[in-house]
Structure 1
Amino acid sequence: MESTDLLMESADKRDVRVKENVCEILELAGIKESDLNTVTQCLYSTQDHQVNDMILLEVDEDILKGLNQEDALSFRGNKHDNAMLCTQTRSYEVREAEISNSWLLVPNLKLGKATGIGEVAERTIEKHNVKRIFNLYYEVKETKPDLVRLSSLLNSSSFNGLEYESTVDKNTLYSWERLQNVLQASDQELKQALSDFLIAEIDGYLRLISFDVEARSFNLMLDYFGEQSWELDEVDKENTYECLNELIYKPVFDVIFKRYTEVSTKTKDNGDPLYKFDEQKCCAVIAKILLAASPVTEYKEFMETWNIGTPEKMQPKQEYLRGLALIMYNTAKVQKEVISCPEADLSNNIHDRLNELFEIKAKWTVEEITPYIIRFTKGVINVNALLTKYARCSTKNGIKYYGSKHGK
């Protein structure tokens, strides 16, 4: 039998246990000494010398895989937040759980075959100190990152132009490292959340570009594009910046240009890349500028103004308004209207957001509501799964609509 004796003693009896005592206990327990390996390990409780700076943490396969690949683990949040464990790519809630049987931490304890010492017939007595007795451990559950405060943190230090920098409170500025410390999210999740904003790194700090700066800078780029009579896929980045460098701060130019263009299939004569304006993103930001000036506009008037405000090589389309505005019929005025409804202004909680959306409009198609709830999808939980769980489906004229689960 590949087994060994484990005998627990208190510290004040550590010098009493000898081979004869072991044999006596085995006899009293009705255990044949020949059924056991020849090593008996005596465990001694040393309460005065126990390790107190250690916890037990249960991990899933993803955390274990990350640790084996030398991924970093960190607990994030402020001292008043509930603990959250973050890997490079995932976030986990951490909860305390009880252990039904106490677990002992015993360094150098031998197990199985290690307690057999060949042909030696004499029983060997070994003494081991129990370093820690565990009655609790911590379990983890993967969760969505807590990024509710991100928008307010970024807004408090937004970049409004070089002329206003002298008035900025340095305590409101956030570097990447500071955001990591105060926000409960993995690095990958935090970077993904930041990509939803227009962020420039200025003097080592992550700065949200204010909408006024974005609109002014973007319009300057489009005006220059129009003056050059380029095709949409023939935009010269270096030429554009050279002309506008006195009007647009370089870090701001870089992030705006990156947001609204992509690398073209065409190149310059020297082989350097040219860029292509993203029609949808460009038309959407122009619509956003118009909606900021007039949140409710008669549909035909809006579409005409929108068309005039975009370069002639771009064609505004109604679907470009998704996530920015709703097209609704005003029965009192007997007219169709474009109504500002920015996704970013809605609640960061899925329940509250859906309640807000269903107050604005009782019934939504999947296409209409998707831009407003897609940020809450994850893994197998897609838009349809969210709507099935939180909304009620109905059909009219063969079209599926979703409304409040508790509505009529």
Structure 2
Amino acid sequence: MSAMCDRKLDDIERTLEEAKIKTTWLNPVTQIIRFADEEPEYKCLELNKDLLETLESGQSLVIRGDKNDNAVLCTSSKTYDLKDTETSNSLLIMQSLTYHKDIKHLQGDDIDRTVEIKIVDKLVHNYLEPRLIQPHLKIIQELLSKRLFKGPERESEDYTEDLYSLDKLLTTVQASEEEILNELFALNAIEYKGYWRLLEFEYHFRIFSFITTYIEQESVPFDEIDKEACCAAHAEIVPKEIFEQVFKYYTDLNYEKPGLGYYILKKDKVCRMVAESILKAARKFNLNEFLPVWQESVIPGLETNLNQLTGIVIIAKDSSPPAIWYFPERDLPEDVNLRLQRLFQERSSWPMDDIVPYMQRLATAQLPVNALLAKYARMSTKEGIKYFTGRHAK
């Protein structure tokens, strides 16, 4: 019997006798539960299958968020909100407990009863429940917009305030590393001297024009672009590390011609960039005038179509005359109510196909776009087309 135990075997046997329980019915080990004098400072975290497999594979889980943020839990590729959840049953957290399977071999009249002390480290009434969410990534654009990159000649060598390395973004943004890198790519960001930067639009378009002009002047097939030759042609104008990163945003490696190092032009993205350069300069554009201007502005051989502009323009074909104007999704608030408020300020009634690209970022597996719109907007149908208006619209 443990020296820590102040209950005697006689006491235990007397208790069992009063309960009319025969000792022969029981395994010969009595465990006495005691609470620790001091509870440790930790929280219990529920793990779903994916999170458990992440830990079992040797990967890490990281909790992110400063004092003013709700904490989130991140794997290398996903982000989970952490909700403090109460449980109706109290949980006893113990380092060890003897189970039936461990002592079932101890049977027989010649086996003496023993007493073991088991310490409860913590009594738990709640735990952290992780829920998969869409991370709040707009902050990346806000942070990087503080210091737009306008070219190396306009940079101060020793001024790094408001600049963000990947490590700094990981400690600031409540998202996984993969989600942060994907957002940086979606923003056409570049990494320069260890910091991630957003290019000023004019500087970005200047490098973009070098690429498209080279392709046009050299009559380069769209699937046989030589990156090294293109970079070398502009080496005295744009640093190679910057040029190559902008180049990759508009090309893909041609895997059908291995060993040659050829790249394929991303035709839709090139057309989209040209359209942005035209539309940013004007509040609204006559749609019938814009379409030929846009087509004439791209490299000969490319075909423009309005589907290439999903999420960056509003097209009002029913206005007189039909109009198009620049309205990028990435500039809208992340809050659902604020985003819808902004959308309905810009356009009182939205066809479903037009509004979906502006809501997709906020959708989750639990609340897809259709459910979001049903919850926060009013739907009507006209000539078989679904339209959405504000909840309180007249």
Q: State the TM-score, normalized to the length of structure 2.
A: 0.89
1:221 deviation in Å?
1.3
1:288 deviation in Å?
0.8
Instruction: For residues 101-122 of structure 1, give each alpha carbon's deviation from its aligned partner in whole angstroms, at most 9, with x where no partner exists.
Output: 5433333320113234233332
Which secondary structure state, in structure 1, belongs to the residue aligned with residue 111 of structure 2? coil
Q: Cα gap change, 1:43/1:393 in structure 2, threshold over 3 Å: closer, same or farther?
A: closer
Higher mean alpha-carbon deviation, 374-383 vs 294-303, is at 374-383
Q: Cα gap change, 1:103/1:343 in structure 2, threshold over 3 Å: closer, same or farther?
A: closer
User: Which residue of the partner structure matches residue 43 of structure 1?
Assistant: 33
CA contact (8 A) 2:135 2:175 kept: yes
User: Which residue of the partner structure matches residue 123 of structure 2?
Assistant: 133
Alignment root-mean-square deviation, CA:
2.6
Aligned residue pairs, count: 390
1:180 partnered with 2:166:
no
Q: Cα gap change, 1:238/1:67 in structure 2, threshold over 3 Å: closer, same or farther?
A: same
1:238 partnered with 2:224:
no
User: Which AA in structure 2 matches 1:185?
Assistant: A
CA contact (8 A) 1:14 1:44 kept: no
* 1:305-344 matches, cutoff 5 A: 305-328=293-316, 334-344=320-330
1:324 deviation in Å?
2.1
CA contact (8 A) 1:234 1:266 kept: no
CA contact (8 A) 2:138 2:330 kept: no
**In the aligned structure 2, how far is the partner of 1:262 from the partner of 1:369?**
30
User: Which AA in structure 1 matches 2:352?
Assistant: V
User: Which AA in structure 1 matches 2:164?
Assistant: Y
User: Which residue of the partner structure matches residue 333 of structure 2?
Assistant: 347
CA contact (8 A) 1:173 1:206 kept: yes
Aligned with 1:110 (options 98, 103, 109): 98
**In the aligned structure 2, how far is the partner of 1:377 from the partner of 1:335?**
34
Give the percent of matched residue pairs that are identical in Structure 1 and Structure 2: 32
User: Which AA in structure 1 matches 2:284?
Assistant: V
Higher mean alpha-carbon deviation, 132-141 vs 231-240, is at 132-141
Higher mean alpha-carbon deviation, 78-87 vs 384-393, is at 384-393
User: Which AA in structure 1 matches 2:252?
Assistant: E
User: Which residue of the partner structure matches residue 17 of structure 1?
Assistant: 7
User: Which residue of the partner structure matches residue 6 of structure 1?
Assistant: none
**In the aligned structure 2, how far is the partner of 1:136 from the partner of 1:314?**
59
User: Which AA in structure 2 matches 1:81?
Assistant: D
Q: Cα gap change, 1:193/1:313 in structure 2, threshold over 3 Å: closer, same or farther?
A: same
Which secondary structure state, in structure 2, belongs to the residue aligned with residue 156 of structure 1? helix
For structure 2, the 5+ residue unaligned runs are none
1:14 deviation in Å?
4.5
**In the aligned structure 2, how far is the partner of 1:255 from the partner of 1:352?**
34
1:266 deviation in Å?
6.5
**In the aligned structure 1, how far is the partner of 2:18 from the partner of 2:177?**
59
Q: State the TM-score, normalized to the length of structure 1.
A: 0.86
CA contact (8 A) 2:54 2:75 kept: yes
Higher mean alpha-carbon deviation, 66-75 vs 372-381, is at 372-381
**In the aligned structure 1, how far is the partner of 2:255 from the partner of 2:113?**
80
User: Which residue of the partner structure matches residue 111 of structure 2?
Assistant: 121
Which secondary structure state, in structure 2, belongs to the residue aligned with residue 54 of structure 1? coil
CA contact (8 A) 1:373 1:383 kept: yes
* 1:389-400 matches, cutoff 5 A: 389-400=375-386
**In the aligned structure 2, how far is the partner of 1:97 from the partner of 1:381?**
21
Q: Cα gap change, 1:84/1:248 in structure 2, threshold over 3 Å: closer, same or farther?
A: same
Higher mean alpha-carbon deviation, 294-303 vs 173-182, is at 294-303
Which secondary structure state, in structure 1, belongs to the residue aligned with residue 350 of structure 2? coil
CA contact (8 A) 1:266 1:273 kept: no
Which secondary structure state, in structure 2, belongs to the residue aligned with residue 131 of structure 1? strand
For structure 1, the 5+ residue unaligned runs are 1-12
User: Which residue of the partner structure matches residue 377 of structure 1?
Assistant: 363
1:282 deviation in Å?
0.8
